[in-house]
Structure 1
Amino acid sequence: MATAAAPVLTRRDLNRALLARQLLLERADLTALDAIEHLVGMQSQAPAPPYLGLWTRLNGFELEHLSALMRDRGAVRIVLMRSTIHLVSARDCLLIRPVLAESLARSLKSTFGRQLDGLDLDAVVAAGRGHLDAQPLTLGGLGKLLAEQWPDRDPFAMANAVRNLAALVQPPPRGVWGESGQAVHATAEAWLGQPLSAETEADALVLRYLAAFGPAGVKDAQMWSGMTRLAASFNRLRPGLAVFRDENGVELFDLPDAPRPDRETPGPVRFLPEFDNILLSHADRSRILTDEQRRLVFTRNGLIKSVILVDGFVRGLWSIEQSKDAAVLAVEPFAPLTRAERKALTEEGTRLLAFAAAKAGNREVRIA
């Protein structure tokens, strides 16, 4: 008996599904903690983006909702997917970090392999844990202490070995809106008072990825996570998944009951912050931006700029310029906008300024 061909999903089908999973078709009535867990964390090289990313996705979100969550140790900043800083719930920190251990070790070797060659990394990590359990330290401070024991080795490389091979979180005030402070590190176990999970299998993480970013293929999940050889997980999960193909014939998987809205569902304008994971979590990013736009959004030094979504797709950049008593939200479209699109962006931008620059006496949205 012939097997039925997998249904084909167009670029616009995939876009609307992604917007629904990312809480961008309409704002959700979720707590900050629930949203962070649904999104499987938020990339957080800079402190502000998670706040802006939650504001654009949630009804009634306020700055203190996330700040309090971080101060109360309900959420933490830690190196996870793609060996980058992510804001995750405390529960996900303990669950996800062990699953990514192999990919983080591989990333360390790729970056610092030469400097660490021949070094007993188990001994370095054990020494680093001892220093960090005594007090939170910057990577520079940790490297200096490690250099007392290994004076002929690179302090920064050793500190990064501890960061990638142990689970290190960045305690507040780093990451709290309006507060400043160096990025210091503590072990997740000491900071959260709980051990890491013993589970290292990727299957559960793949399912959560599909819930937040699907439908998606094996290469998409690998791009998002930084892991390799995820085909084995998809093959184990295949009997319980819906299977599709994109317009290029690439096999895609999804949770059977996950939302896949009609392709004509309206996509409201949205302001996405720097490093938003929606731009970083697929091998084929055409469901959200073109290759030409990618070159304008992704900088050579690794920054991912803030973007506007119009009808669900990237259509330009934005930034907030603040002076002593004024704040200007500057929008740079990639192509001409209609009058209705400009109006919608102005209205949404005005709300964004009221959130992000509440103390500014004069607030203005300027669309080039």
Structure 2
Amino acid sequence: MNDMIRDFTIDIPKTALDDLDIRLRHVRWPDPEPVDDWSQGIPLDYVKTIVEHWRTSYDWRRCEQELNQYPHHLTEMDGVDIHFMHIRSPEPDARPLLMTHGWPGSIVEFMDVIGPLTDPVAHGGEAKDAYHLVLPSLPGYGFSGKPTTTGWGLEKIAKAWDTLMTRLGYDRYFAQGGDWGGMVTSVIGAQNLGHCAGVHVNLVVVGPPSDEMMASLTPEEQASLAHFAVYQEQGAGYAEIQRTRPQTLGYGLADSPVGQMAWIMEKFQGWAEDAKAPDENFDCDRLLDNVMIYWLNNAGASSARLYRESFGAPNVDPVTVPSGCSIFPHEIITPSRRWAEQRFQNLHYWGEPEQGGHFAAMEVPELFVQEVRGCFAGMEL
């Protein structure tokens, strides 16, 4: 294995942006939905509004410049180039923190929390809360390479991330994540290869509650089960498509930027604080930044394959390293603390912020930073 760390700069060729412009000028639209809400998917009028903004006002070079202000690198893991940002804190006693995104997210999700986490003093915080950040792109996502063989599931990614941290010289580190990133982070804790000192997740995936717990459900647990049942009935179709037929889905996502945008942006409406449209909770250009990470890298099919690898029977092995969980109120899965403790058996921190949903680092960055700090403040490397 080549363990070299190579510098990387994001530099999308103009031809790719010109191609996007042509495609956005020649969209074939579907019929409008026969309902006045999002129950059948992202509405036609809303998509047309976003596409017009995308074509006439959005500036990818602005995003590229914002990303390139931080160091980017590539390193090979089992034949796949892994892209990551490595942002060292100015504080000499900062602690290493690995943070992993999920689907349909990317490194863009973390843009508003990088400053407070790496340089807290400059953002009204204290030096003791400083972290050296390592932000990788999942295999098949963003600027990482695309696996050409099967097997890149949660367990392999977790081991690769541990190797990445030690390759960077971090013999001890913390790990954090949401969505797939939360699941990878949980597996890092479960594998406990001797380097991870603690984990924090804001998507808390656990096994089914015990029979004893199911026989004595609290009102909050009953509400959690009802909320998840609605998701399974009305909102989980995307995951089954990506789990069963990622390749077939990929043709549409590779060919149509509008299709890729709609496939992604719908989730920023459904998985956030109560909102009628995603750009009520998120900056529209930041949403398009995230879409562009998928579109420009042709990552529709390659990102979906992680569902094929790990969604059917996700790893819920016990986590014995020091752990913290934050349950944002509009998350898809909101297990109770006693449910979580069945898996996270060394639970040091439990947070229930008042606002936010699935994309917490992007939706409520200040609360997200508070949760991360609150979790790791009580842990030692």
TM-score (ref. length: structure 2): 0.27
TM-score (ref. length: structure 1): 0.28
Q: Which has the larger radius of gyration?
A: 1
